[in-house]
Amino acid sequence: EITIQKRIMPPLNYSPNVRSLMRIFSLTAEDLHRPIITLNTTVDINPGGIYFITGASGVGKSLLLNELAAAFASSEKINLNLLPLSEKAAMIDSFKSVPKALRVLSQTGLSDVASMLLPPAILSEGQKYRYRLAKCIFSSKPIVVADEFCSALDKITASLLCNRIRHIA
């Protein structure tokens, strides 16, 4: 169980542009001292669970995800979106065990040798995403944080990966 309480306050720098917007929208300094976003929630996270945060654009999904991720030790989690992409080393060289890498890459749809011999930075966006997902699986960390999960993939590939991830979890 994780409890999150966070308030996001607007900047209090009254630049000429800010003052102009305040006049246009009839805002006072008191209005700007109110929080833009207030998170106050408790979330139950269970081993083997897969959790999605959904909602309209701009409602704080990424903020909530980042706050949830911050509640766990760095030794327990890996953030898919923050994994670097080598520009020089072959994809396969970024894994310590080739047999395990082949299994994990195959699970994420990157089993073709041509892709494995290329640096991850020059792959297509979908391949980069699947590479990062493979790195998360390979890490064996119990918590994978992924903002905009599978958004870089077509619907069929995303569906296949979601089923594989559910099986792995």
pLDDT of residue 84: 96
| Alpha-carbon span 144 to 82, nearest angstrom | 11
Q: Decide which of 63 and 108 is more confident.
A: 108
Q: Decide which of 98 and 60 is more confident.
A: 98
For residue 10, pLDDT beyond 70: no
* DSSP one-letter code for 5: E
For residue 49, pLDDT beyond 80: yes
Q: Strand, helix or coil at 141?
A: coil
* Residue given tokens 């041509």 in the structure block: 114
pLDDT of residue 24: 94
